[in-house]
Structure 1
Amino acid sequence: MAEDDPFEGIPDDPTADLDAATQQLTVRVEKRRYDKPVTVVEGFDTNSVDVDAVASRLKKKVAAGGTVNGDTIELQGDHSDRVPDLLREEGFEVT
Structure 2
Amino acid sequence: MAKDSLSDVAGLPDELGLDEAFAQEQQQLTVRVESRRYGKPMTIVEGFDDDLTSASDLKELASDLKKAVGAGGTVTEGHIEIQGDQTERVREILADRGYSVTG
TM range (shorter): 0.7 to 0.9
The offset of 1:12, in angstroms, is 6.9
The offset of 1:24, in angstroms, is 0.2
TM-score, normalised with respect to structure 2: 0.77
Identity %: 49
The offset of 1:61, in angstroms, is 0.4
Query: What amino acid sits opposite 2:70 in the alignment?
Result: A
Q: How many residues are paired up? A: 85
For 1:1-95, list aligned pairs within 5 A: 13-49=17-53, 50-95=57-102
Structure 1, 42-51 or 13-22: larger mean CA deviation: 42-51
- Give CA deviations for 1:7-60 in whole Å, capped at 9, x if unaligned: xxxx87321010001000000001100110000000011332211111011001
1: CA distance, partners of 2:39 / 2:19: 41
* Structure 2: unaligned runs, 5 residues or longer: 1-14
Partner SS, residue 17 of structure 1: helix
By relative contact order (CA 8 Å, sep 6+), the higher-ranking structure is 1
- Relative to structure 1, the CA distance from residue 12 to residue 71 in structure 2 (aligned partners, 3 Å threshold; closer, same or farther) is farther
TM-score, normalised with respect to structure 1: 0.83
Q: Which runs of 4+ in 1 moved over 4 A?
A: none
Query: What amino acid sits opposite 2:45 in the alignment?
Result: V
Q: Which has the higher helix share?
A: 2
Q: CA RMSD in A?
A: 1.4
* 1:5 matched residue in structure 2: none
